[in-house]
Structure 1
């Protein structure tokens, strides 16, 4: 049974794309089949996996979504790229900006991405959607398509206000479009453990939100090596396998996998009870 996870935060620079890459490849290293979906018009996920001219790719997520909106046929594996570290990628590029505008006048506009995900997800154990840094129509589509959300939060500022807005949007999507949507948790990123400020933010986040939702035990440290991986088109495991960031992403991947296994076991029990 496949699990679809959206990585979302309307604030940019939270390590969302780096987390998508390293979680996806971390799961692939555990023998899981993983599809990464770049739903951001900036194409940062595509770029981070070594496809440095995403706007020049002949087929992208925008191409497939256009076919769905115009009811043209498409192949399930159309446009999917294969990365050397064992993950598949549905690339994103600037054409998604036009899609976001077009969706406003499209029937079933919140579920166009879900239509695509439903055609491919049975081939994978995990589908990870890297969202735009906004709460626009593409992010709503990602939340409508997902089983759960992971929220990466930068530990350099108090995230309460932005978190509240995102949580309200997730709750609205759950009520109106996707009742099965859950929040897997909040991931603290770019944590500078040398400063009391980062420790204070970790404490405040766990105090204010810990009773409402999971704050992952793993925290991703501030690491120049992790930032450099994007330019290399590799994961932290290939670039700096023994570094602190690789160990942190490994621990985070295990937490995500444990959540996935519990969900599968629960679903299995529910199926047996029918």
Structure 2
């Protein structure tokens, strides 16, 4: 028989998660065969199932992948608390375990063996579909990462998908591409506040399209450590999360590890084409390191001009990608109309000009490949 239990979350004043507990009854503690003086248990977490049994192990073990806990086994004990003549019994659940379980509200408790308790997330409480995380990445500036992020986000939002844009660019160029100069919004707190567990600001760019701005370019070790935890929570709220990544080595690698897909924008120049090839090789190394498949959605040539240098490097990149499973759509041409739209804070989807049709079709092809 399975017993439904509510998970108790307690927070510090700054809204940072402090402790997670599961209240037990005396008869449940008795089934574990423990008392306040004989309180030696083993706590195990594997395959999203918690098991607790009477006993003791010699060494703790912990296993993570992509900076997320997947296995844990350690010595443990139940908390016995007495208030007057009443005794309470609490199982404290490690926060990394709760993060791995996606912060459930309720669990199912059962006893299948003598002195062993099993805790599972209620099946109906599991969210089957989470946001797909897509990062724009290249280790060079000026290739149009922010431009592509906005256009893809606006395109997905226009067909009813709920999209969140994140950035590691403290200049917040995303706002320049979505607001005119006079209407560019101010903000007090952004991504760093959210990662700390506090409340920042979420700006609505368009219907279904949201953006969390960045306050400053300095990233602490705590930010880099806690960003994946924040991202997991946000994945419950959106269909897609797009990351406009700037070349900040440690943070950029965290973004990639958290991503389902990568889009590589580049220019038809020697340095930029080599940069795109380097990203492909880097993704392959990260896949080996994390044992996680990260799809390279596409390599997108941006600001293409009909000049010999651009045509030569476009041909070179075409030959390199010939036998690779990477989308290589028609380049996005350098158009004065695009610059005009960006200056007004408008997207390519907010114009009916025929000259933009090819650019829109390139974006649609990328979206279809997501």
| TM superposition score category, shorter chain reference | 0.7 to 0.9
User: Equivalent residue for 1:206?
Assistant: 318
Change (3 A) 1:21 1:226: same
Counterpart pick for 1:62 among 185, 189, 192: 192
- Equivalents in 1 of 2:360, 2:140: separation in Å? 25
1:109-130 per-position Cα deviation (integer Å, ceiling 9, x unaligned):
7553322221112222211100
Q: Is 1:241 paired with 2:352?
A: yes
- Equivalents in 2 of 1:46, 1:141: separation in Å? 24
Q: Contact 1:229–1:236 (CA<8 Å) still a contact in 2?
A: yes
- Equivalents in 2 of 1:160, 1:29: separation in Å? 31
Secondary structure of residue in 2 paired with 1:98: coil
User: Equivalent residue for 1:168?
Assistant: 281
Shift of residue 169 of structure 1?
2.7
- Equivalents in 2 of 1:117, 1:143: separation in Å? 12
Shift of residue 41 of structure 1?
2.4
Q: Is 1:27 paired with 2:156?
A: yes
Relative to its length, the structure with more strand (as a share) is: 2
User: Mean Cα displacement is larger for which, 20-29 or 52-61?
Assistant: 52-61
User: Equivalent residue for 1:126?
Assistant: 240
User: Equivalent residue for 1:11?
Assistant: 140
Counterpart pick for 2:209 among 87, 91, 100: 87
Relative to its length, the structure with more helix (as a share) is: 1
Q: Contact 2:161–2:239 (CA<8 Å) still a contact in 1?
A: yes
Shift of residue 45 of structure 1?
1.6
Q: Contact 1:226–1:236 (CA<8 Å) still a contact in 2?
A: yes
Shift of residue 19 of structure 1?
0.8
State the TM-score, normalized to the length of structure 1: 0.77
- Equivalents in 2 of 1:176, 1:51: separation in Å? 43
Q: Contact 2:180–2:343 (CA<8 Å) still a contact in 1?
A: no
User: Equivalent residue for 1:183?
Assistant: 296
Query: 5+ residue gaps in structure 1?
Result: 68-72, 261-274
Shift of residue 34 of structure 1?
1.2
Change (3 A) 1:116 1:241: farther
Number of residues of Structure 1 aligned to a counterpart in Structure 2? 240
- Equivalents in 2 of 1:112, 1:248: separation in Å? 40
Shift of residue 214 of structure 1?
1.5
1:210-267 per-position Cα deviation (integer Å, ceiling 9, x unaligned):
32342422321111222233332221222x33243x323422332233223xxxxxxx
- Equivalents in 1 of 2:313, 2:354: separation in Å? 24
Instruction: Between the two structures, name the one with larger relative contact order (CA 8 Å, sep ≥ 6).
Output: 1
User: Equivalent residue for 1:257?
Assistant: 367
Shift of residue 178 of structure 1?
6.4
Q: Contact 2:160–2:208 (CA<8 Å) still a contact in 1?
A: no
Instruction: Give the aligned CA root-mean-square deviation in angstroms.
Output: 2.5
Q: Contact 1:49–1:233 (CA<8 Å) still a contact in 2?
A: yes
- Equivalents in 2 of 1:178, 1:225: separation in Å? 44
User: Equivalent residue for 1:268?
Assistant: none
Secondary structure of residue in 1 paired with 2:243: strand
Structure exhibiting the larger radius of gyration computed from Cα positions: 2
- Equivalents in 2 of 1:54, 1:8: separation in Å? 25
User: Equivalent residue for 2:23?
Assistant: none
- Equivalents in 2 of 1:150, 1:31: separation in Å? 21
- Equivalents in 2 of 1:172, 1:166: separation in Å? 10
Q: Contact 1:61–1:92 (CA<8 Å) still a contact in 2?
A: yes
Counterpart pick for 2:330 among 218, 234, 237: 218
User: Equivalent residue for 1:229?
Assistant: 341
Change (3 A) 1:113 1:247: farther
Q: Contact 1:111–1:145 (CA<8 Å) still a contact in 2?
A: no
